[in-house]
Amino acid sequence: GAVVSQHPSRVICKSGTSVKIECRSLDFQATTMFWYRQFPKQSLMLMATSNEGSKATYEQGVEKDKFLINHASLTLSTLTVTSAHPEDSSFYICSVLAVNEQFFGPGTRLTVL
């Protein structure tokens, strides 16, 4: 299966700042990656589908101007949380689609003060 990494694993930022989270596919060229968000004690919620070389597809209710996704290469997708607020504090997880199966990254814990 595909090996997926995320950076950083944890980030704490002040309200109003922007935070970039990287998702890397280490051994597979991924045309499609997914971004999820998970609040404490809750399930994963799909935010968007990231397609290499084209615009991301966002799920209903997810603001595309707030959660900027860039998938510039087959091994890297980035999620930028712009003007972060405390309610954006969550666990952000990416996944790589490899041969009809999704492989998940370890997640990034974002805390906005």
Partner 1 sequence: LAKTTQPISMDSYEGQEVNITCSHNNIATNDYITWYQQFPSQGPRFIIQGYKTKVTNEVASLFIPADRKSSTLSLPRVSLSDTAVYYCLVGDNGAGNKLTFGGGTRVLVKP
Choose which of 58, 66, 70, 91 interacts with partner 1 (CB under 8 A).
91
Among the listed residues 1, 12, 18, 64, the single contact to partner 1 using CB under 8 A? 1
Site for partner 1 in 48-77 (CB under 8 A): 49
Q: Is 90 in the site for partner 1 (CB under 8 A)?
A: no
- Per DSSP, 81 falls in state E
Torsion angle of C-alpha atoms 76, 82, 85, 86, degrees rounded to 10? 0
Selection from 43, 37, 42, 97 nearest residue 66 by Cα? 37
Rule CB under 8 A: is residue 33 a binding residue for partner 1? no
Q: Which of 45, 62, 68, 74 binds partner 1 (CB under 8 A)?
A: 45
Residue 106, CB half-sphere, CA atoms under 13 Å: how many?
9
